[in-house]
Structure 1
């Protein structure tokens, strides 16, 4: 593994109606990021934002929790920890009027790494109506 990890992932619930307290109870985990649309929020640097949140967001990530330069272990950790295979997830997302996504960091300075998203993880996200976004950094 490199000094700086080359991959990690975050599961986001997003939408104008996101209630971070609801999702914290639902997933039974404290989020790494919680934003209520129209309200100030805590930035990654630990400061209060200068502007209100433009969208609601609840997020929990694998950074600092999983050690791997491949995406699969990060995604599997999130699936397990948040119990993303629960049968009521798609219905709950729809009822709350929000969407879900995996946001993946992919370090690829040399340009020779290909992100690996297994078929079953793609199928899971499709089943809950979610997306997988990969931000590649060169």
Structure 2
């Protein structure tokens, strides 16, 4: 592994009606990103963005917890830490009017790395009505 991880993932809950405090309590985790639509927010660099958030976003990343250049350990960590297989998650997302996704960072300078997203993780996200997005960099 290099000093710079070649992969990590973030679980996002997003939508105009996101109330970050609700999702922090629901998942029992302090988010890396918390934005309420129409309110100022703190950027990941710690700077206060005075422009109101255009959309609500709650995000929890694996980068600080998992040290692997593969996606699978990052996705499994998030699924377990946030208890994404809990009963009623899809209904809670629908009731709150928000969407869920895994956003995945994938460095592929050589062009020969293939993202490793296990079938059970894909099925879990599909069951909750969520998506998996891979942002590939070369």
Which residue of structure 2 aligns with residue 82 of structure 1? 82
Does residue 1:38 correspond to 2:52, yes or no? no
Which residue of structure 1 aligns with residue 128 of structure 2? 128
Residue 50 of structure 1: how far off its partner (Å): 3.3
TM-score for both structures, normalised by structure 1: 0.99
Q: Which runs of 5+ in 2 are unaligned?
A: none
Secondary structure at 2:49's aligned position in 1? coil
Q: Which runs of 5+ in 1 are unaligned?
A: none
Which residue of structure 2 aligns with residue 67 of structure 1? 67
Partners of 1:50 and 1:29 lie apart in 2 by 25
Partners of 2:45 and 2:83 lie apart in 1 by 29
Does residue 1:100 correspond to 2:81, yes or no? no
Residue 59 of structure 1: how far off its partner (Å): 0.4
Secondary structure at 1:122's aligned position in 2? helix
The structure 1 segments of at least 4 consecutive aligned residues displaced by more than 3 Å after TM superposition are none
TM-score for both structures, normalised by structure 2: 0.99
Does residue 1:111 correspond to 2:111, yes or no? yes
